[in-house]
A and B are shown apart, each in its own frame.
Chain A
Amino acid sequence: MTEHLPALQVVVPLIAAPLCALLRPGRAVWLLAMATCALCLLIAALLLDQVLARGVISYAMGGWPAPWGIEYRVDVANAYMLLVVATIGAVVMAFARTVVEQRIRLPASKQPWFYTTYLLCLTGLLGMIVTGDAFNVFVFLEISSLSSYVLISIGRDRRALTAAYQYLIMGTIGATFILIGIGFLYVMTGTLNMADLTARLPAVADTRTVRAAFAFLTIGISLKLALFPLHLWLPNAYAYAPSAVTAFLAATATKVAIYVLLRFFFTIFGAQFSFGTMRLDVILLPLALAGIFSASVVAIFQTNVKRMLAYSSVAQIGYMILGISLVSVTGLTAAISHLFNHALMKGTLFMALGCVSFRIGAVSLDRLAGVGRIMPWTMGAFVIGGLSLIGVPLTAGFVSKWYLILGALERGWWPVALLVLLTSLLAVVYIWRVVETAYFQPAPEGRATGEAPLALLAPTWTLALANLYFGLDTSLNAGVARRAAEALLGVGP
């Protein structure tokens, strides 16, 4: 069965999703979804193991060989991404049961549909990563996007509906632009297979159509990954979605869009065309810096902590784009490493907030007063996630910041390195506001609440401890990330 792993990675959650919808509401639905997520994680781990040992895996869908059929192609870069998404998918699914049962605007009879939608979203995200076919990327993008709009809209706050609608409009524009870009490439080359596109594009690269395709893809993907100033859909969507959904989407959806960006610009167009001819770095670098700076500042002034973290996500995406715009192995390592580290830290932070809102019912800053003493474990996880977000040594966040600064210095851009350090201080400010309120302000009278249930704490702490573990053992989030960066740039072994 091992030769079918690339297909199974997508097929397993795809089959489990309709099965969840058929089951009666109850514990069994969650068990099936949880088992599916665990199986996805196992498959992703096996795939990464195979790729590291034996190199690129190619799988021909339906037995039609590439470039005619749809090829699933797994190299170090997407095996690494599969592991990130599958890990978060499994951890958040463990967290989701309690949230779905008690904190979502869905009657019990409709709760199985949450798991169906979640698994479909996971299918789409995994599919975008695993496929080696440009059009297939679009199809899976739509699967994941449509299901994520639904997931966001079931938040308890009625504003979740408008947030989801806003995201739907922006996301659809993004997806349409991506489709137009892919269509132009197909017109010029007659192929949709990524490897085949790489081979055929240089011959037609100097045409207006290909340049237009490049532009459409840049804007479309930037919308999906919420690059400043196209990030306006993100804060509301993250703030009003149910906490489990926010944790899942914040840690995966934008990351997968960044992976798509890497795949298109480094593998399909090639770094030479994207950054040598089209000078994409000249656009990305200022946008990344502006995004990091402005989103961090805006985050400081938020009163809703979930919204604050959402703005922080925009800033963190800026760091990844900054790493990409350095166009060096070190810079790309920083970006790819941050994909993983940011998933860990934001997963921890949003799940810790989920624990808080489970007990207190809100996550506005003034309601958090004194929570540090009432819910020591929850806030402990939040602090670890916060430290990792700031980039304190011995946490995962430090690893990517280190490579980012190293990459900037390599290029001799010391002002950029300085700005990265400076904006880390902004992160200190907004995390500190939460810590100060939670630990140093007295809890209001008459609030009888205790620690969050273990079913919520266990997944939260799993990710919190992972933040610490991957701060010390960097063989995966720096070692494998470096190999992925080398594979994307086409250098090294």
Chain B
Amino acid sequence: MKQYSILRLITKLLLPLILLFALYVQFHGDFGPGGGFQAGVIFAAGFVLYALVYGLDNARRLMPTWLPRLGISLGVLIYAGVGVAGMLLGGAFLDYGVLDPHDPVHGQHLGILLVELGVGITVASVMISIFHAFAGRGR
């Protein structure tokens, strides 16, 4: 891809915007459309674009394969951990209201934010891992 300088330049310009948009979709999810799933896919799409244009080796240098593998588990654990925290604080599983002892509404915000973060991490990690698995075949 060395000869496609326009493609490389545009990718470099777009990449931060894609990642920023992913974060926007992630953290704005409880006010507007979006959430962890969509954000995770957008984030992974940015990464895949980078890998397509700059090559798999550069992409691996950017994000070593163990990182998404860790992320897959980490996201689920964040999700389930928030649920169990609600349980330990005296509510039901995934009851966010009890996360903040003073203001249940604040607790709800915090809970959904963390749960969606877990979803986002897992989805992005799974997408990147699938890309790695396919792109890395025969190496």
Contacts and interface: CB of A to CB of B under 8 A. Distances in A.
Interface stretch (B2-10, B31-39, B41-49, B68-76): B68-76
A4 B77 contact: no
B130 interface: no
Contact of B77 (A7, A18, A61, A62): A18
A22 B70 contact: yes
A465 interface: no
B80 interface: yes
Interface string B5-21: 00000000000000000
Find the residue from A4, A15, A19, A63 having the highest chain B CB count within 10 A. Answer: A63
Given A11-B84, A15-B84, A4 B93 contact: yes
A5 B65 CA distance: 37
A15 B77 CA distance: 6
Given A7-B87, A11-B84, A19 B77 contact: yes
Contact of B94 (A15, A17, A21, A62): A62
Nearest to B92: A63
A17 B76 CA distance: 9
Contacts of A319: none
Contacts of B98: 63
A21 B73 contact: yes
B27 interface: no
Contacts of A11: 80, 83-84, 93
Nearest to B87: A4
Interface in A50-100: 59-63
A14 B76 contact: yes
Given A21-B73, A22-B73, A15 B96 contact: no
Contacts of B86: 62-63
B120 interface: no
Contacts of B87: 4, 7
Question: Which secondary structure characterizes the binding site on chain B?
Answer: helix
Contacts of A21: 69, 72-73
A22 B84 CA distance: 19
A446 B6 CA distance: 70
Contact of B92 (A15, A18, A19, A62): A62
Contacts of B77: 15, 18-19
Contacts of B91: 63
A7 B72 contact: no
A61 B82 CA distance: 13
Nearest to A4: B87
Contacts of B73: 18-19, 21-22
Contacts of B76: 14-15, 17-18
A453 B95 CA distance: 47
A8 B84 CA distance: 9
B97 interface: yes
B40 to A, nearest CB: 16
A80 to B, nearest CB: 23
Nearest to A116: B73
12 contacts: A7-B87, A7-B93, A15-B76, A15-B77, A18-B74, A22-B70, A60-B92, A61-B92, A61-B94, A62-B92, A62-B94, A63-B91
Interface of A: 4, 7-8, 11, 14-15, 17-19, 21-22, 59-63
Interface of B: 69-70, 72-74, 76-77, 80-81, 83-84, 86-87, 91-98
Given A4-B93, A18-B73, A18-B77, 11 more contacts: A4-B87, A11-B83, A18-B76, A19-B73, A22-B70, A59-B93, A60-B92, A61-B93, A61-B94, A63-B95, A63-B98
